[in-house]
Amino acid sequence: MTELIASGVRLMTPISFVGLGEVIAERAGMLNIGLEGVMLMTAFAAAYTAGATGSVWAGLLIAMLLGAMLMAGVALIELLFDADHIVVGIGVNLVGLGATTVLFSDLTDKVRITPSFGRLEVPGLADIAGVGQALFNHPVTTYLLVPVAAAVAYVLAATRWGLRIRAVGETPAAVDAAGVSVMAVRFQAMAACGALVGFGGAALSIGQLSGFGENTTDGRGFLALAAVIIGRWSALGTVGATFLLGLALAVTVQAPTWSWAPEIPSSLLLLFPYTLALAFLSVQRGSVEPPAALALPFIRRR
Residue 21: closest CA among 170, 159, 200: 200
Q: What's the CA dihedral at 96, 98, 99, 103 to 10 degrees?
A: 130
pTM of the model: 0.95
Q: Backbone phi, then psi, for 123, in 5-degree steps?
A: -55, 135
Residue 46: closest CA among 67, 63, 65, 71: 63
Helices (H), 82-181: 85-111, 132-135, 140-158, 160-170, 172-177
CB within 8 Å of 73: residues ≥ 6 apart? none
The type of residue at 144 is L
DSSP structure string for 266-278: HHHHHHHHHHHHH
End-to-end CA distance of the chain: 61
What is d(CA 16, CA 231) in angstroms, rounded to the nearest whole number? 11
What is d(CA 57, CA 229) in angstroms, rounded to the nearest whole number? 31
What is d(CA 241, CA 234) in angstroms, rounded to the nearest whole number? 10
Q: Backbone phi, then psi, for 295, in 5-degree steps?
A: 70, 10
pLDDT of 261: 59
What is 2-284's CATH number? 1.10.3470
- Report how far apart, in Å, the C-alpha atoms of 48 and of each of 38, 94, 117, 147, 202 are: 15, 21, 14, 27, 10
CB within 8 Å of 136: residues ≥ 6 apart? 121, 122, 125, 126, 128
The one-digit pLDDT tens for each residue of the chain (302 residues) are 788 899 999 999 999 999 999 999 999 999 999 999 999 999 999 999 999 999 999 999 999 999 999 999 999 999 999 999 999 999 999 999 999 999 999 999 999 999 999 999 888 888 887 788 888 999 999 999 999 999 999 999 999 999 999 999 999 999 999 999 999 999 999 999 999 999 999 999 999 999 999 999 999 999 999 999 999 999 999 999 999 999 999 988 887 777 665 677 777 788 889 999 999 888 877 677 899 999 998 877 65
**Domains of the chain: which residue ranges?**
2-284
The percent helix, strand, coil of the chain (3-state, each to 5) is: 75, 0, 25
pLDDT of 126: 84
Helix (H), strand (E) at residue 138: strand 137-139
What is d(CA 118, CA 133) in angstroms, rounded to the nearest whole number? 15
